[in-house]
Amino acid sequence: MIKAGIIGTGNIGTDLLLKLIKTDFIEPVIFAGRRMSSNGIKLAQEKGINVTDKGIQFFIDNPNYCDLIYDCTNAIDAKSHAEVFKKQSIKVIDLTPAKVGDLCVPTINPEAIKTRGNVNMITCGGQASTPLLNVISKHCKLNYVEVVSQIASDSAGMATRLNIDNYIHTTERAISEFTGCNNCKVILNLNPAIPQVDMQTTLFIKAEDIKFSSLNKDIYKTIQRLKEYIPHYELVMPPTINNDVLVLSIKVKGTGDYLPEYAGNLDIINCAAIEISKNLL
């Protein structure tokens, strides 16, 4: 069993806690926030989870309390938290856009968590797109990659909105790193429709020497692998080539643990974080 702590008791942190409780290999030993009255803390208490409102101070006062930390706070706080956990040699999976550690995707570089003290989960668009792009890059020479995502407005909190530029830059960096293609563009659309829309991501790819049948087979294989840890990851527009542009589209529904099902964008980051944790077993 991995003894894990969560810092940050907002939507992401609370959803992650419920997911950890369901696993049989991670034991959530502390849920650290700043307000006892927060919805997340109240829910954690109902579930019998150890909670604190001391935030990072709890970990300073109780060194080496756990083996692994999920940082679900924000980019600024996560940077200073990283220093605290580094001193205690506690592994950190960072779910904020702080980018202290290596960008990490379960199907590409899951071992990073073993060799590095701190790994970053990029963005929802990054987790949805880079596994496929990485595989595609092995079947052709990529000249240009474009990733367009739709998320429901109700799933985009103020932090996402304030950091929308950051989302774009971080996702673009991950695409470059995991495909070797520096020419890429990321677009994010917020759709306010009610009932809320699911997260959907479309890939547009310009490439040379596409070996379509072998590539197609590998795409389906990768999607099967992704479904193992993102249960509602689904291909909605199969790969097609039109005027030398490869297009495909996927949809991600959440599992509805704490966040509603339409918030696949938040769910996918937590699913990826848990999948990465398996490498510490």
280 binds another protein (CB under 8 A): no
The string of DSSP letters for 125-164 reads HHHHHHHHHHHHTTTSEEEEEEEEEEEEGGG--HHHHHTH
If the CB atoms of residues 84 and 168 are measured against another protein, the closer one turns out to be 168
Question: Binding another protein by CB under 8 A: which of 17, 122, 197, 269?
Answer: 197
Decide if 51 contacts 33 (C-beta within 8 A). yes
252 binds another protein (CB under 8 A): no
Looking at residues 116 to 155 of the shown chain, list those that interact with another protein (rule: CB under 8 A). Answer: 144, 146, 148, 150, 153
Looking at residues 211 to 240 of the shown chain, list those that interact with another protein (rule: CB under 8 A). Answer: 236-237
If the CB atoms of residues 24 and 165 are measured against another protein, the closer one turns out to be 165
Phi/psi of residue 273, each to 5°? -60, -40
Site string for another protein, 77-116 (x = CB under 8 A): ----------------------------------------
Question: Binding another protein by CB under 8 A: which of 64, 189, 214, 224?
Answer: 189
Active-site residue (options: 72, 124, 181, 271): 124
- The tokens of 240 are what? 């097609």
What count of other Cβ atoms lies within 10 Å of the Cβ of residue 122? Answer: 28
Question: Binding another protein by CB under 8 A: which of 1, 76, 164, 241?
Answer: 164
CB of 151 to another protein, least distance (A): 10
Nearest to 121 by CA among 12, 225, 36, 242: 12
Decide if 1 contacts 68 (C-beta within 8 A). no
What count of other Cβ atoms lies within 10 Å of the Cβ of residue 86? Answer: 15
Decide if 274 contacts 71 (C-beta within 8 A). no
CA-CA distances (angstroms) from residue 93 to 34, 100, 158, 167?
A: 20, 10, 22, 18
| Stretch of residues binding another protein (CB under 8 A), selected from 5-13, 82-90, 201-209, 253-261 | 201-209
Whether 124 is a known active-site residue: answer yes
If the CB atoms of residues 30 and 248 are measured against another protein, the closer one turns out to be 248
Q: Which amino acid would we find at residue 201?
A: T
Which residues bind to another protein, rule: CB under 8 A? Answer: 144, 146, 148, 150, 153, 158, 161-165, 168-169, 185, 187-193, 197, 200, 202, 204, 206, 236-237, 242, 245, 247, 249
Q: Which residues are catalytic?
A: 124
